[in-house]
Amino acid sequence: MGARLGLETFTRVAEILFPWFMLLFVVFVVSLITATDMHKILPVFDQGLKPVFRGAIPAAAFPFMELVLFMMLFPSMNRAEEMRRGMLLGATLGGIILIITTVLTILVVGAVPSARYAYPGYALARRINIGDFFQRVEAILALMWTITFYFKIMVYF
């Protein structure tokens, strides 16, 4: 849809779906707070700082590749400064969401099991259990993934 109808349509759809994504993300995080165990994140920097950077740099590059494509749009924009500010805000918010998700995964599942999972977020969604009526909410996570994959694919077209 965005590839055929243009960038403006793409951004309008993003404005509509972004609040829904954030609402689902907040529900996801709040419902997992009771399942966290602070002992699973310790010891911090057990092997030193070098292994942390060795694992963090490649993992941080993939989610932010779209920023390079957005930078190609700067010369053709009327309000490039406004786009720059929005791009920095989006990158910061995306980084915060990734950090929250990673820390939450380690606090709930543990570092070693979360490193073995292909989709650790799915393992988190399986752990959500509030009473007997709000459990196994993998469909919410699948909806969040669908929203983000839609935009990731549309950026490349």
pLDDT in tens, 28-72: 888 888 888 888 887 777 777 787 777 777 777 777 777 777 777
Higher-scoring residue by pLDDT: 66, 19:
19
| CA 150/CA 145 separation, integer angstroms | 8
Q: Give me the mean pLDDT over the 2-25 stretch.
A: 81
Which domain range does residue 120 map to?
2-38+47-156
- pLDDT tens track for 83-129: 778 888 888 888 898 888 888 888 888 888 888 888 888 888 887 87
For residue 108, count other CB atoms closer than 10 A to its CB: 21
Which phi and psi (to 5°) does residue 65 adopt?
-65, -30
Indicate the number of domains in the chain. Answer: 1
Token couple for 150: 């839609």
The pLDDT, as a whole number, for residue 1 is: 57
Burial of 28 (0-12, 13-18, 19+ CB in 10 A): buried
The rounded Cα 54 to chain-centroid distance in angstroms is 20
The pLDDT, as a whole number, for residue 2 is: 57
The pLDDT, as a whole number, for residue 102 is: 86
Beta bridge partners of 134: 130
Q: Give me the mean pLDDT over the 137-144 stretch.
A: 81
| pTM for this model (two decimals) | 0.77
Residue pair 114/123 in contact (Cβ under 8 Å)? The answer is yes
SS3 of 31-54: the string is: HHHHHCCHHHHCCCCCCCCHHHHH
The pLDDT, as a whole number, for residue 8 is: 79
Radius of gyration of the chain (CA): 18
Lowest mean pLDDT segment, chosen from 20-24, 64-68, 89-93, 150-154: 64-68
| CA 102/CA 71 separation, integer angstroms | 27
Burial of 5 (0-12, 13-18, 19+ CB in 10 A): exposed
The pLDDT, as a whole number, for residue 3 is: 64
